[in-house]
Structure 1
Amino acid sequence: MALRTAVLTRLVDRVRGSIETSTMEDLQRRRATVYPGVAPFTWLTGAIDPTVRRTEITVSARDGAAIPLRCYQPRSTGAMPLIVFIHGGGWVQGSTRMYDPICTRLAREVEAVVVSIDYRMAPEHLAPTAAEDCIDVVSALLDGPQAPALESVDVSRVALAGDSAGGNLAAVVAQQLRHRRGPDDRPSIRGQVLVYPAVDLTMASPSIEEFPDAPILTRDGIYTFRNLYLDGRFSTDGAPLDDPRGTDPLLSPIHCDATEVAPALVQVAELDPLRDDGLRYAEHLRASGVNARITQYRRLPHGYLSMPGACPGADSAIEEIVAFLRQVLG
């Protein structure tokens, strides 16, 4: 790991604190935290593009709950494709506003409207609420504009993107909506970008044990996130999961038939406990006949998408995402 990466990620860990020792008050504080969009914070997170307009709307979930969406509109004119972004945070933390740097960049460079989903999180809302919220939101967006901010969207050109737990949710949505067709009778979802995704709640990936004390995300942190998502427990229990939900396709997309899902770009970080989740899922997609590109970014830890200033190579990863999205949405 580069010295800059090691120093800055350890600093982030110290300031943020670990999920393993967190309380509900800690989670609520983290959810409310938004880094200022000015230097020196942007030296770490990347800049927020001021040319991209940001607005808030809501879409109803199946139980009637209003799910907030953060919309990003570039200055481009005419019909634009749609990118649905799903943020990470272990299904328990994170926010749409924290992802303003990457979402404004995608909007401008892909020339697409980006919609980021503020899905309901655990432990207040246990699995599969987050997955169902994302499925419901994307289904509604595919039906047509939900607000003036989306009137320029071409619903025949839609892609999904997400990192970590958001990568899990993006993969689930791609599977569950694989048979939705657009106005031109092509699949509505043209592609999916999964960045260091968590795809297997049975914790079967060897890299989890290979990097137990990695920066940003530890082995015990992974277990705690999983337990909070499944049953609301603040627990680092790493015993084999005997809950049958561990292989539920709504929770662990690697345990679902992936035939006919959208083409994928899967990115993983070499020094990430979740590295093998992404590698295994890319191979699962390929075995199902899906066009899946896998890129492993050397010497990088989990979370590089949100910390490009700390991670040499992260900018190349974002450029790869932009190029893939342009290709599948063109």
Structure 2
Amino acid sequence: MARTATHSPARVDGPPAGPIEIDVRTRVFTWITDRVGVIAISRMSAEDLARARSRRLSHNVVTSRVFGPMPEDVSLTDLRIAGPDGPLTLRLYRPHGPLPAGRHPDEGLPVVVNFHGGGGSLGNLDQSDWLCAHVAARVGALVVSVDYRLAPEHPYPAARDDGYAALCWAVRHAEALGGRADRVAVMGDSAGGNLAAVVCLLAREAGPVIDAQVLLYPVVDLTFDAPSTTAFERGPMLTRADMDVFRTNYLGEGGDASDPFCSPLRAPDHRDLPPALVITAMVDPLHDDGVAYAERLRDAGVPTRHSDHARAVHGFICFPGVCRAAGEALAEICEELAARLA
């Protein structure tokens, strides 16, 4: 079960002593993915990386058992917009079912901008379909998912600039899309959580106003010096070797891991950022940094909820069919967004 913490240390001392058990289905799934190496970038050639990026996810009875079933009352539409350095693809998830109680049919929908995970080098829009579609259906929101540029071909600040540009575009065009520019949230998992946190820093200075941020096991410190990074350096799901490759790709030549727009945990000031829900997985190299970020926000006066899933691994929101924590986290996300965007 998840536990929602009201207080957590600024830097924890790593995971509890002794072995941490994960669910049997999750254990089998992580063993298979490790053997196949489908997400282990440290073991990928350039050709392997290209194949991994081009792999598409179709939604059927078989894939739903792992990646989760899609709601029937949500439509998906891909569109292209002008980005900072060429076209960007966005995927819109629009609900068509009954609106939440108290919502008038003539009102525009709140807007949630999502950033997928993948270490900044992997991932695509498909992997966020389950999360985005269910958020759209349950919250009654227009979800906009961003297909930002990936490293190493496009190192920092390409993904950051794409993410911020997509947020600004979504707010600027909210009314035309049937959305509300005054009800906006950002959401992201892993590297996408990094982008969500970073665009909040950018928007604090230059707009637009963001009403909530949802960060799922986010990458918030690229120095990778937390105790959990060492404790789970061999995984499951994410290893230290993979993290090092992701970081090298993302930063490119001469990149600075302490730059707060790469590592938002190291920002000098976290005041006046949007209310946050930070979700962490206990069996995850990124666990301690996520805990620290939640506490940093709370210390800065930002309303913050932190939910720590004790038997979950990194990336669990993408595998709801084998990681039961995904359903629990989805309920937390929808509750938070419904409250903040009401």
TM-score when normalising by structure 2: 0.87
Deviations 1:226-275 (A, max 9, x none): 1111127xxxxxxxxxx661111221111112110100000000100100
Residues of 1 paired with 2:110 and 2:337: CA distance?
10
Contact 1:72-1:114 within 8 A present in 2 as well: yes
The alpha carbon displacement at 1:314 in A equals 1.9
Match of 1:80 among 86, 109, 128: 109
Q: Which amino acid aligns with 1:19?
A: I
SS of 2:182's partner is strand
Match of 1:123 in 2: 152
Contact 2:94-2:136 within 8 A present in 1 as well: yes
Match of 2:218 in 1: 197
Aligned length: 311
Match of 1:108 in 2: 137
Q: Which amino acid aligns with 1:72?
A: Y
Match of 1:303 among 315, 326, 340: 315
Match of 1:185 in 2: none
Q: Does 1:30 align with 2:52?
A: yes
The alpha carbon displacement at 1:62 in A equals 2.9
Residues of 2 paired with 1:11 and 1:86: CA distance?
26
Q: Where in structure 2 are there 5+ consecutive unaligned residues?
A: 1-21, 100-104
TM-score when normalising by structure 1: 0.90
Residues of 2 paired with 1:220 and 1:123: CA distance?
16
Runs of 4+ in 1 over 4 A off after TM superposition: 179-182
Match of 2:41 in 1: 19
Q: Which amino acid aligns with 2:88?
A: I
Match of 1:67 among 75, 79, 88: 88
Match of 2:80 among 43, 58, 74: 58
Contact 1:9-1:310 within 8 A present in 2 as well: no
Q: Which has the higher contact order (CA 8 A, sep 6+)?
A: 2
Residues of 2 paired with 1:55 and 1:90: CA distance?
25
Percent of pairs identical after alignment? 39
Q: Which amino acid aligns with 1:58?
A: R
Match of 1:275 among 264, 270, 287: 287
Contact 2:174-2:180 within 8 A present in 1 as well: no
Match of 1:235 in 2: none
Residues of 2 paired with 1:313 and 1:96: CA distance?
21
Deviations 1:77-128 (A, max 9, x none): 4311000010000001100122111111111001000000000000110111
Q: Please list, as runs of the form range in 1=range in 2, the aligned pairs for 1:1-330 lying within 5 A after superposition.
A: 1-15=22-36, 16=38, 18-63=40-85, 65-75=86-96, 77-78=105-106, 79-145=108-174, 150=177, 152-179=178-205, 188-231=209-252, 245-256=256-267, 257-330=269-342
Q: Where in structure 1 are there 5+ consecutive unaligned residues?
A: 183-187, 233-242
Residues of 2 paired with 1:263 and 1:24: CA distance?
40
Contact 1:47-1:101 within 8 A present in 2 as well: yes
